[in-house]
Amino acid sequence: MLLMPMLDGMGISSTNIYEIDSGSPFTIYDLKMHLLGNRKTNIIPAFNGDVL
């Protein structure tokens, strides 16, 4: 069985990814990961441009 991982950032509550130096570790809270099985699909909502 093939599983396709999909990261869903629509519910991110906090992150420091914009405050760190390149190559440094970062933190993301409330990032969801979905695993889609064979022939399963998911509709990705449009990003409205807002950032945290």
SS (H, E, C) the chain: CCCEEEEECCCCCEECCCCCCCCCCCCEECCEEEEECCCCCCCCCCCCCCCC
- Model confidence pLDDT, tens digit, residues 1-52: 788 898 988 889 999 999 999 999 999 999 999 888 887 777 777 666 665 5
Q: What pLDDT shows up at residue 13? A: 95
Q: Does 18 fall in a domain?
A: yes
Residue 17 is assigned to a structural domain of this protein: yes
**Residue 12 within any structural domain of the chain:** yes
Domain count, the chain: 1
Say what the pLDDT of residue 50 is.
64
Answer whether residue 30 is part of any domain. Answer: yes
Range of the domain at 19: 4-36
Give the pLDDT confidence score for residue 4 in this predicted structure. Answer: 87
Q: Classify residue 15 as exposed, middle or buried by CB count within 10 Å of its CB (0-12, 13-18, 19+).
A: middle
The answer to whether position 45 is within a domain reads no
